[in-house]
Structure 1
Amino acid sequence: MDYLRPGESGEGFNMGEKMSPEVQKKVEQLQDWINKQPHLPKDIDDKIARRFLHSCYYDMDRTKTAVELFFRIRDTSPELINHRDPLSPPMQKLLKIVNVAQYEISGKRNIWLWQLNDPGLEQYDYLQDARMFIMLFDAWMLNNTEFAEEDIIVLDTKDISLKFITKFNVSIAKKIAKYQEDAMPIRLKQIHIINAPPFIDKLFGLMKPFLKAEITSMVHFHVPKSETLFKYLNREDLPQDYGGTRPTMVELNKEVVRIVMEQRENFLDENFWKTEKKVKGPKTEVATFRSLDID
């Protein structure tokens, strides 16, 4: 499956808007298919099913493959899905050094921002960051009602040093890369690395073997104090931290945390959105659940 192709377009809209008969039919078809798969969860509501369809441009086979992989990764990655209480000491520790923001910007686009505030990387934990990433995305899926034409990621690497190599986990990186490329129901179009250090090529080299060419072509590096980011994003779409007019990352992060706390009960349930491991489902016209490779 490849639903992250640069240049592919779609029309953004609000999930609260009335679905067209064509979209409604596809949602019903997808839900019917999910309900016939013994291994898939049965608590996927229409708005989640619709988001998967939208991310795959309403191609049913691509959508089914994305759904299968989404749950396969969750099923085989307890280190990423379990122990996600946002009030736990490890999560609170990470939330003190990482600011995350997500909001809609001009052109019916979503922007996702990640900012690390840990000079020396003394507190940073790569696994915990990956676990938080999936938790934040789950909270967003449960809360958000907008469909965007494209999604843009901005990563602030101002506090990243070569010490990051000692924090890096190859196994986790491979799973996160697969999840981001083929399972997340978004339309990823741009990835920006801002405040990039001189050795960013070495750090990027750690991830590059796990990334598809379509993804690496989306990556743009921006050195400190440069204004090259504004070639891609308007100032009014960015936080004040980066020369924009939006609130600061600290303020934007508060809203993200609020949404996460509203969903805390789901994160405490380690069976939330989990598959039925003991049940073998029938073969389908797309890749079977057990055949989806994430290694």
Structure 2
Amino acid sequence: MKQTFLEAGDEILYDVIKDFDRNEKSFNEDVTVVTKWLQEQPHLPEVLDKRVIQNFLLLSKCSVEKTKQKIDMYFTLRSKLEDVFGESNPKLPHLKEIREVMNFVVYPKTFKNNRLFIFKMRQENLGEKLEPMNVLRHLLSIHEIRMKEDVTFGEYFIVDCSHVPVSYILKLTPTFVFKAVAIIYEKLYSARLKGLYLVNFPKFGEAALTLAQKIMKPKLFERIKVCPDLDSLKDVFPEDVLPAEFGGTGYTLQQLRDMLESKLGEYQCWYDHLDTLRVDEKLRPESLKNDDILGFHGNFKKLDNGEGLGNYYFTHSHFLAIMFATSADALKTILKLYDQNEESLRLDITKLKNWMKSQGHLPEILDDKRIENFLILNKFSIERTKQSIDMYYTVRTLIPELYEHVNPQKPNMAEARQIAYWLALPKMTDEMHRVMVFKMRNKQMIDKMEPRNVIGLVINLEELRLNEDIMFGDVTIFDNEGINFGYFKKLTPSIIAKVLTVYEKVFSIPMKAIYIVNSPPFVSTILAILKSLMKPKLFERIHVCEDTSILTEKIPKRILPRDYGGEEKSLEELQGGQHKSPLVIF
């Protein structure tokens, strides 16, 4: 018999559901509807118990349809994110180690019907062993207990930053943040964050917090509090829910740790059972409605050419203008750099086509040119190229919000092209790099410029380049003339993480230099904040200038457009060439 760990009786449950205009009767009716739905899903491995369904309803604000999606996601992600869920059993050595490294515990008593989590390093010299993925896996283990015993309404966090090294922040890669935030938190465990209280906050963290303030929604940022001392926690939390180490009269961290260890042990059979649960995709119903990650049959959304970026059959390619000046010599030089030749390239392309034919979930076989570019992007590693090609399609269902509005024929993209230029200059540098330019076209429309539409411009151009260019390296010009601080505030952490995921996993073009010209003072401030978080090699390639004079110093005039004192066509003329092409059959 399992011992009570989290105090959460039905009285709390029925108090919480009032926030969602539910009473005991209507809420139980919702549970019955979801249970019946689960029984009718042939692809799902089992029917969840009543308490778990109740908690999924709470996480979905008592929306039955959203609850169905979360439950499907709960099972499906166990195979889709194997690196997270496949290694999350608490008995595994790396999770036993992380529990020795840190105290990350949950307090048994509720606080205003919410749950309090507490983090503190156990020893000063263990900071380097703190791995973000293992911290996430540990939280997932706790969440399994909460789903069966708790009322998942809202959460408070107290984080003691003592002995957390700056190296930990550097481990928070865009890919990890995307998986943790955009998929697991947003799509699965979306409990409401009520407050995050940081104590013993280090100096190196202040820069990151300043940047967060500039880009986060004010309502969310206001929930992050840096505490001047431990006593300030008593102004928020009752002393009986604060551990002794934080000035309270509650359980000590060691006691909380022992309770959690005991509870993890009680649930060990359940964690072992979870390792065996998999969705049977062959039995998934024909259509999975209202789902923006799983798409159809648990694989890829099938997008019509007229509606999105699905199958890229460039049936009108004979009409395309030659926009990118490349040469056979450039390709030969690149092949030589990687100890390849034209014959080995053809063999690699054939291998990859054969591999694609064997992948029943992929919607098409790429043409030679696009496979060639994927090989270049991955330095001719066959395995890495396979991963990039798979991700090229998968990302459309993992991050649908980036792709569902990028069709160049849609009004939002037509407007984006009226607002800004995002262009690849026709001529390559002597080093075979492509020069990219971003610049406002209509400064009066800056308030209408939305990040997702700028991302759409980037995606469309990368598709052109896959088909016509040699994607070896980029030199990028960001012209900030006409851009105000309001636009930068729209670049939320979620957007940045998603964009960087696409860059890292799909279009990982080496960035050779970034020139930020006509730069307002606040751009330098943001970069100064980011410096501690970026790899020195990449940061050294960023050049911030108050004007555009550096461009003619660093980039040959034969490449630069007339807008920057060069000999190439103007940006306005190039805009017509790159966006009036019949390639807009996406």
* Other-structure match for 1:137: 462
Deviations along 1:127-174, one digit per CA (max 9) or x if unpaired, are: 1111222122213323x1x42543221111111222123322322221
Summarize the Cα distance change of 1:35–1:111 in structure 2 as closer, same or farther, 3 Å threshold: same
* Other-structure match for 1:193: 516
Q: CA deviation at 1:204?
A: 4.1
1:99 partnered with 2:421:
yes
* Other-structure match for 2:580: 258
Matched AA of 2:496: A
- Distance in 2 (alpha carbons) for counterparts of 1:26 and 1:85: 31
Which residue, out of 229, 232, 245, partners 2:551?
A: 229
Q: The residue matched to 2:514 in structure 1 has which SS? A: strand
Alignment of 1:151-162 (within 5 A): 151-162=474-485
- Distance in 1 (alpha carbons) for counterparts of 2:528 and 2:500: 14
Deviations along 1:27-46, one digit per CA (max 9) or x if unpaired, are: 11122222222322323112
Aligned-residue CA RMSD in angstroms? 2.7
Deviations along 1:53-105, one digit per CA (max 9) or x if unpaired, are: 02222122222232233333222121121133323322221111111221222
Which residue, out of 540, 543, 546, partners 1:220?
A: 543
- Distance in 2 (alpha carbons) for counterparts of 1:129 and 1:53: 27
- Distance in 1 (alpha carbons) for counterparts of 2:434 and 2:570: 17
Which residue, out of 466, 473, 481, partners 1:150?
A: 473
Q: 1:192–1:220: 8 Å Cα contact kept in structure 2?
A: yes
Q: CA deviation at 1:21?
A: 1.5
Matched AA of 1:172: I
Which 10-residue stretch deviates more, 193-202 or 249-258?
193-202
Alignment of 1:1-295 (within 5 A): 12-13=330-331, 20-102=342-424, 103-107=426-430, 108-117=432-441, 118-119=443-444, 121-142=446-467, 144=468, 146-147=469-470, 149-184=472-507, 186-204=509-527, 214-225=537-548, 227-259=549-581, 262-265=582-585, 267=586
What 5-or-longer segments of structure 1 have no aligned partner? 1-10, 268-295
Summarize the Cα distance change of 1:258–1:111 in structure 2 as closer, same or farther, 3 Å threshold: same
TM-score with structure 1 length normalisation? 0.74
Q: 2:422–2:458: 8 Å Cα contact kept in structure 1?
A: no
Q: 1:195–1:224: 8 Å Cα contact kept in structure 2?
A: yes
- Distance in 1 (alpha carbons) for counterparts of 2:403 and 2:537: 27
Q: CA deviation at 1:253?
A: 0.9
Q: The residue matched to 2:521 in structure 1 has which SS? A: coil
- Point out the structure with the larger helix share: 2
- Distance in 2 (alpha carbons) for counterparts of 1:104 and 1:224: 23
- Distance in 2 (alpha carbons) for counterparts of 1:41 and 1:54: 22
TM-score with structure 2 length normalisation? 0.39
Summarize the Cα distance change of 1:20–1:246 in structure 2 as closer, same or farther, 3 Å threshold: same
- Distance in 2 (alpha carbons) for counterparts of 1:168 and 1:150: 25
Q: CA deviation at 1:111?
A: 1.3
Summarize the Cα distance change of 1:214–1:42 in structure 2 as closer, same or farther, 3 Å threshold: farther
Structure with bigger gyration radius? 2
Summarize the Cα distance change of 1:243–1:133 in structure 2 as closer, same or farther, 3 Å threshold: same
Summarize the Cα distance change of 1:250–1:130 in structure 2 as closer, same or farther, 3 Å threshold: same
Matched AA of 2:584: R
- Distance in 2 (alpha carbons) for counterparts of 1:53 and 1:137: 15
Highest RCO, 1 vs 2 (Cα 8 Å, sep ≥ 6): 1
Q: CA deviation at 1:13?
A: 2.1
